[in-house]
Structure 1
Amino acid sequence: MNVNTLKYYFRESTRSVLRNSWLSVASVGTIIISLLILGSSLLLVLNVRHIVSTVESSLEITVFLEDGLDEEALKRMEEEIKFVPGVARVEFVTKEQALEDLKESFGDKADILSGLEKDNPLPNSFRIKTSEAEMVPRAARQLEKLEGVEQVRYGQGVVEKLLSLTHWVRIWGSLTLVVLGAAAVFLIATTIRMSVFARRREIGIMKMLGATNFFVRMPFMLEGMMLGLAGGLVAALIIYFGYLSLLNKVAVTLPFIQLVNDPQTLYRVLGGLLGLGFGIGAVGSAISLHRFLRV
């Protein structure tokens, strides 16, 4: 392929976009809307998963111990806990440390606990983290069977509901992305097919004059790529600045909600939108041209 042929392809592609300006604008608009919906849904799913993962990471098991256990018994129990399937981290908390933590949680009202320092009713305990949130209930049931354990708490009932909710969030989030992605492909391919249909006579004449399928297809492929890239670029810019504005507002009004703010994750989403627009434009053009090249 020489330079003159490449110049011809780009010249014809640009001329076609300008000649069919209204149809080109409609194609780019469809791509922008489709990718905006897809990109926004992807960010929504990522943020829901991030919030759920944050909540899951805070789950821990507290094992309250019986009074009177000596140091040797505590060490033996710690080793037994480490062998429980799913346990990732074990931290021993003395009753004195537990009282200090309780005072800290009370903040300015910690003075009401001053009378407990002489006769501390809090037990020694172990704080346990599991490698996966789903393993919390099962590990808690096994910990209850250990000798010297008085009580095990992990938020019974609430944790099971949370884990069920996160499971369905992941499933429906993935299904939503698949459905919206398929809808975007369909809309873009349909729009480009309309552009090709409007010039079906031109394609037929070129074929009758001996033009190869590749020669006929390339200008339309480049046109689809240009339109797809333009739509992807606009959609990426809108989502980028819109999401940055959202992050700033959430940080001020709802500081306890931690949204995804990793630049690499955001750049991957934006790069994916650009690549998706470019690729769908090319694929949509190829699919749309297939029937019209049979002359």
Structure 2
Amino acid sequence: MKIRTLVYYFREAFLSIIRNSWLSLAAVGTVAISLLILGCSLLLVVNTDRLADHLESSLEISAFLKDGLKDDEIRELNEKIRLLPGVVQVRFISKEQALEEMRRSFGPRKEILDGLEGDNPLPDTFRIKTRQAGQVVEVAGKVASLDGVEDVRYGQGVVERLVVVTHWVRLAGLGAVLLVGAAAVFLISTTIRLSVFARRREIGIMKYLGATNWFVRFPFLIEGMVLGLLGSLLAAALVYAGYVSLVENLARVMPFVPLVSGGQVLYSLLGSMVGLGLFIGALGSTISIHRFLHV
């Protein structure tokens, strides 16, 4: 491509933006609003997924052992549990450790437990974590069937409901992102189509004079990408400022809420928004001008 032709493309694109300033402003605003909604939806999905992972990672199975097991029997039981599919962590908590943990949880009232050292009623316990929350019920059933295990607890009922809720939350978040993304493409293509429609006669004359489809299309493609870039940069700036402020304020009020605050995740999301803005602008221009090239 010649430099002179490239300069012509960019000159025509920017002249069109200036000439149709109100339409250009509407396109930028549409891109910004659409990507702002999309960015907020993505952050909601990412944080919901993070919260679900946090809740799932806190789930564990408590396997209470029978009294009188010897050390080699406990070690053998430990190995059997580790070999079960889905198990990622097994911790042995002796009855002495369990009593000490209970003592710490009682705080100032720990004197209530004085005298239990000699006749400790608490059982030895294995605390087991699985790779996924959906594996808890299956693993708990297998552990309960092992010799030497007296009882198994894993929050029956709560785990099943948590698995169902997190599954549907993830699906709903993904659906919202796809819906908003499709709406963004539709709005951009509609807005840019107005700009193309205003120049339909000019395009028709260029086609009659022998201009190729790409010669006609390229300035509009650049125009759409510029508008998409401006709108996406505005949306990314608003999302960044708003989310950083939200994280800082929420950290002071509810520090236990595990919001995504890593720069890598946030910057990747913002970069994706800018790239998506360019793509939407180009796609909107391509869709809009296609019908006017057949004259």
Kept in 1, the 8 Å contact 2:185–2:283? The answer is no
How far did 1:227 drift?
0.1
Aligned counterparts of 2:281 and 2:22: Cα–Cα separation in 1:
17
Does the alignment pair 1:199 with 2:199? yes
TM-score (norm 2): 0.97
Matched, 1:88 2:88: yes
What SS does structure 2 have at the residue aligned with 1:122? coil
1:114-133 correspondence to structure 2 within 5 Å? 114-133=114-133
Pairing 1:15–2:11 present? no
Identity fraction in percent: 58
3-state SS of paired residue (1:115): coil
Map 1:61-210 onto structure 2 (within 5 A).
61-210=61-210
For residue 230 of structure 1, what is the aligned residue in structure 2? Answer: 230
Q: Which amino acid aligns with 1:278?
A: L
CA RMSD of aligned residues (A): 1.1
Question: What is the aligned residue count?
Answer: 295
The residue that corresponds to 1:56 in the other structure is: 56
- Which amino acid is the alignment partner of residue 272 of structure 2? G
1:95 to partner: Cα distance = 0.6
Q: TM-score w.r.t. structure 1 length?
A: 0.97
- Residue identity opposite 1:166 in structure 2: T
Consecutive aligned runs of 4 or more in structure 1 exceeding 6 Å deviation = none
Secondary structure of the residue aligned to 1:242 is helix
Tell me whether 1:47 sits opposite 2:56 in the alignment: no
1:113 Cα offset (Å): 2.3
What CA distance in whole angstroms lies between the structure 2 residues aligned with 1:10 and 1:82? Answer: 64
Displacement after TM superposition at 1:106 (Å) = 2.6
Q: Which runs of 5+ in 2 are unaligned?
A: none
Deviation at 1:84, TM superposition (A): 2.2
Instruction: Find the counterpart in structure 1 of residue 29 from structure 2.
Output: 29
For 1:21 and 1:106, how far apart are their aligned partners in 2? 69
Q: Deviations over 1:205-227 (max 9, x none)?
A: 11122222111111111100000
User: How far apart in 2 are the matches of 1:126 and 1:90?
Assistant: 7
- SS for the counterpart of 1:150 is strand
Report the Cα distance in structure 1 between the residues aligned to 2:118 and 2:267, rounded to whole angstroms: 57
The whole-number CA distance in structure 1 between the counterparts of 2:50 and 2:236 is 21
Question: Which whole-Å CA distance do the structure 2 matches of 1:107 and 1:218 have between them?
Answer: 73
